[in-house]
């Protein structure tokens, strides 16, 4: 578990432990929209207003080197119309690097995320 307490966090997903690392679904964790366009709260318990006002965004790099985002606004716009747009970053994958932006009023819990900083070693995925 990583509590994101800063507005920007760089790190990777996945921790080395007794169980094998598995991906983390962003819609299931932070919320999505059903076919009627109604927000469905994820397991994090963050509301639509908190995610939108807190500027919750995840960024990664695609295989072609492009930066790719996931956020609640994109989830709302594309989930039920063009879900393929969301596919490059629907879930956090083990060993992948991510940039998280969050300015919400409370700490953000991202299970399995390992934040990094200069001179800080909080663990890593190892082979």
- The CA distance from 73 to 29, in Å, is 15
Residue 124 maps to a domain: no
| Residue 6, both tokens | 């800063």
- What local confidence, expressed as pLDDT, does residue 102 receive? 93
- What local confidence, expressed as pLDDT, does residue 47 receive? 95
pTM, entire model: 0.84
- What local confidence, expressed as pLDDT, does residue 127 receive? 44
Residue 79 maps to a domain: yes
Rg (CA), the chain: 14
Residue 122 maps to a domain: no
- What local confidence, expressed as pLDDT, does residue 98 receive? 94
3-state secondary structure of 76: helix
Residue 127 maps to a domain: no
Which residue range is the domain that position 20 belongs to? Answer: 2-115
pLDDT in tens, the chain (127 residues): 578 878 888 998 987 777 788 999 999 999 999 999 999 999 999 999 999 999 999 999 888 888 889 999 988 988 888 877 777 788 999 989 999 999 998 889 999 898 886 665 555 554 4
- What local confidence, expressed as pLDDT, does residue 18 receive? 78
Residue 25 maps to a domain: yes
- What local confidence, expressed as pLDDT, does residue 28 receive? 96
Q: What is the DSSP string of 22-68?
A: --EEHHHHH-EE-TTS-EE--TT---HHHHHHTT-EEEEE-TTS-EE
Q: Domain total for the chain?
A: 1
| Strand partners of residue 69 | 59
Residue 126 maps to a domain: no
Residue 27 maps to a domain: yes
Residue 81 maps to a domain: yes
């Amino acid at each position: 578990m990583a509590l994101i307490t800063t507005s920007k966090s760089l790190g990777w997903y996945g921790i080395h432990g007794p169980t094998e690392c598995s991906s983390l679904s962003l819609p299931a964790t932070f919320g999505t929209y059903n076919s009627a366009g109604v927000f469905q709260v994820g397991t994090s318990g963050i509301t639509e207003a908190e995610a939108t006002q807190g500027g919750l965004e995840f960024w990664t790099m695609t295989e072609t080197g492009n930066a790719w985002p996931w956020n609640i606004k994109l989830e709302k716009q594309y989930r039920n119309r063009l879900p393929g747009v969301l596919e490059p970053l629907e879930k956090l994958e083990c060993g992948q690097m991510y940039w998280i932006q969050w300015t919400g009023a409370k700490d953000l819990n991202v299970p399995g995320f390992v934040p990094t900083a200069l001179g800080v070693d909080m663990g890593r995925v190892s082979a």
